[in-house]
Structure 1
Amino acid sequence: MTQPFADDPQLPATALIAEDEPLLAQALQAELKRAWPGLEVVASAPDGDSAVELALQHQPELLFLDIRMPGRSGLEAAQAIVEDWPADRALPLVVFITAYDQYALQAFEACAVDYILKPVQPARLAAACQRLRGLVARRRPVSGTPAPVVSTALADGDQLLSQLRQLLGAPTAGSAPQLLSVIQASSGSTVHMVPVEDVVYFEAADKYVRVLTATHEHLIRTSLRELLPQLDPQRFWQVHRGTVVQAREIEHALRDEAGRVQLVLRHRPERLNVSRIYAPRFKGM
């Protein structure tokens, strides 16, 4: 038996397209069909939130993500997909598509597999598809079927897309914000002054953040992304895209046979799930 032929346009693979303009999505799918007849587009998403949901549902091998979309951007969608991707499957290969050079630069710095500028040129897309076929082929065993176990490419993908998380979480401009010492949480006409040192963990909840202490729960109207730069990263560890925990509140970490990690807390009964790109933090010394 032989390895899959990377230059064969009939090489089977699956893909998702995320593009908020229907005509552009249709045009991209048509161009992909011409450049790579063996590629099956299993889903098309009109926004970043749908892209995350459909990607996790269909688990395609490739993602073609527009960077500027309603809801989550393509960068944010890629982060969310990686964090919730099944631990026993290789991460999808990500291609960002954008009309703006500065976003293309961000995608490049985030170590995406590739990026393509709009309007998509057939020759440029064909070159990208040839490169992607090579990457897909190298992930396949001799039989040509998808690898049943996590490959080296998966570990590399974890490292590369962790850089995407760092890019998204980095301050955009100006000096670093002052670290918070007190959280001001409103409840009706009352403003609760919650010392940051009393917080066990923060959890994203739509447009709010839940603030959980050992005995109380508060809700603040901010996003976790806005809150993170105001927390001491040595004391507060992000363990999931929607969860930040105070390190001293972690009793121990449990790892199951599939490599999934859960945190047992000192002063809360619930256990916190750790997403795959944060799991390497919890290794013995």
Structure 2
Amino acid sequence: MSALQLPCIIYKTQKQMDDYTAADMRCGDLDEAQLQKHFHLTDVSTKVNPYTQTRITPFNQPQSMFYGMRGPSEPVSPQLCVRTLFDEFRALSRIFSLYGPYKHVIEQMITHMQNGHGSKFRSLYLDMALKEQIWNDRSGKSSLLRIKTVLQESIDFEMGYIKNDLKKKLYDEIMAYAVLPKFNNLFDRFNGLGISVHDTWATHITLQSLLVSNDKYKAVINYRIQDHFGLDILDILNPFYFQFRIFRIWFVLQRWAKYGFKPFITEMNATVTIQGAKGG
């Protein structure tokens, strides 16, 4: 049997990279009546009413005891209304990013949505977080530990190479037993990673190189992961997300035809090196 040609992708998800057709990548596709009647998005911001483009006061705030009484209604320009919504979006994100080196990333992502026109988002901090997550996962479902186990069993130390069927073995092992990197534990709810990334959309794992010498090996593995910074209809219909004003503002900014701010793809990369020995 021939040796495996490197580099090669040893695992990829069924969901595709660069998928701009996904439901959470839609924008500007809903009108005001749909937002208010179907999705019940009447109480959106505490600062401005996005539909009437007026400042919120005790007289026009839906939850106020003064709602419906005659009072001043100060109009704001469309540009100021949008800036106010994004400022509130950023401010509300801070309750999900209280500490740690990644807490500022979510505000950068919100600003990217405001100014990025749907372009891809990359951050060295997210790359660092991904690498940390991969290295720190010591559970039996760690994808990296699963890869190491298969390599250990598959390398022909006498001949100094790995057989071509390793690709299938690695794919089957990851598919059956591993959990792919994501940011959904308790700490991620408060360090900014849960709101920035949370789950992921598509993953490619590539075996970039493998050196076998003197009954030892060193393998270089790359993780390329994408997520979507956008909301779909199921997100806003979920009572858990709907209760938070941040998601109501986000959905209106993204999905209302008058605004239509583009969601975007977040891409993370991490390269790790693993080593082992015959019989080890």
Q: Which has the larger radius of gyration?
A: 2
Q: Same fold (TM over 0.5)?
A: no
Q: With structure 1 as the length reference, what TM-score do the two structures score?
A: 0.25
| Greater RCO (CA < 8 Å, at least 6 residues apart) | 2
Flag the structure with higher strand content: 1
Under a length normalisation based on structure 2, what TM-score does the superposition of the two structures give? Answer: 0.25
